[in-house]
Amino acid sequence: MTLALVNGRILRDSGWVEDQVVLIEGARIQQIVPSNSRWSADETFDMLGQTLLPGFIDVQVNGGGGVLFNDDPSVDSIREIGRAHRRFGTTGYLPTLISDDLHVVSRAVRAAQDAIEIGVPGVLGIHIEGPFLNEARKGVHDETKLRWLDEDALGLLTSLRGGKTLVTLAPERTTPQIIRKLGDSGVIVSAGHTNGTYEEIRTALDHGLTGFTHLFNAMSQLTGREPGAVGAALDDDGSWCGIIVDGHHVDPVVLRIAMRSKRRDRFMLVTDAMPTVGAPNKSFRLQGRPISVYDNMLVDEQGRLAGSDIDMATAVRNSLEMLEVDLPQASRMASLYPATFLGLDYELGRIEPGYRADLVLVDAGINVLETWIGGQRAT
């Protein structure tokens, strides 16, 4: 079965192209040919002059569609969260578990494994955010769940097969040797909810740390005499930084300064989305505490930020205005860069032959019109 996407503006590696046809066979892009050449397809989809981008990849999705992954770490939850987010162009995601007991972490890993094996659309693995965090930077994470990361948890954190595991931890709450073992086992290690010094974070980077979870939020800050985790992130050219571009988590001026301090291809958009995304109900409970939207922010009863109520299409749209980047750059921050961070850029994040047909069609306002995951229209 061959699908032809015609009559659209397409973002390729070389830039914008028009008058080209994207031919999809099965789950992958077979060819991209001039529209006036000889081609055939079983089905044709007219894009009506709108814009085709690589599908968005979100590595931090706590919930969506009224579902919180922690409440029910199951295949059904993963499926519903993915369904909510693909309406906003997310074609790949990591369901994210907030700090919890290790038996809950184990259930979440098994659910991700099962979801991958049965082919739940879009699921790429799992993000385990805690419980190996620093209570001094816990944010809304439950302090009673936090713990030191030792050898006993390594088997659990490295148990997922067939998908990507991202672990957010505070480097000062484990050892460089354990970080090395995680990395050597294929786990992607990111620093977050950390009060580590520059030297502690630098040591972690030297032992396999490759990312920073929601840069600036819940981490030691850059100051005149102590660069902290933020300073380490911006000083290290090779590591990736997830950023929440909602105008609340980080001031846009600060993000623009950060992006002038480091390679732009190391910044990726994340949502840190909660159950309110794609749901009419704008409140929920997080481990017994009420969370609700106030002035476009998700906050707990004490006014602390508790994830976000934004989706990836909104993050891309915000980036155009707040970060003053163009659409190709914002698109790469939402697709190619997270794919590279996950080690999946050989098949995701581009509209090129051989790549998976994970695609999103948007209008001039970055409103999502259609989404394809593995060549299938996602509804």
Catalytic residues: 272
Helix (H) or strand (E) holding 205: helix 198-206
- Token duo for residue 378: 């996602």
Contact (Cβ atoms closer than 8 angstroms) between residue 253 and residue 42: no
Q: Return the number of other C-beta atoms located less than 10 Å from residue 295's C-beta.
A: 6
Q: d(Cα 261, Cα 237) in Å, to the nearest integer?
A: 9
Residues 6+ apart with CB under 8 A from 21: 4, 5, 6, 32, 33, 34, 35, 37, 39
Between the alpha carbon of residue 276 and those of residues 81, 127, 179, 328, 351, the distances in Å are 11, 19, 34, 28, 31
How many helices (H) and strands (E) are present in the chain, helices listed first?
10, 23
Closest-CA residue to 242 (of 373, 84, 61): 61
Distance CA 11, CA 349 (A): 11
Q: 73: cis peptide before it, omega within 30°?
A: no
CA 317 to chain centroid, in Å, comes to 16
CB 163 within 8 Å of CB 112: yes
Quickly tell me which residue has 């520059």 as its tokens: 198
Q: Which residue has the tokens 């992954």?
A: 69
E strand or H helix at 262, and its extent?
Answer: none
Tell me the backbone φ, ψ of residue 376, rounded to 5 degrees: -105, 130
Q: Based on the number of CB atoms within 10 Å of its own CB, is 50 exposed (0-12), middle (13-18) or buried (19 or more)? A: middle
Count of Cβ atoms closer than 10 Å to residue 38 Cβ: 6
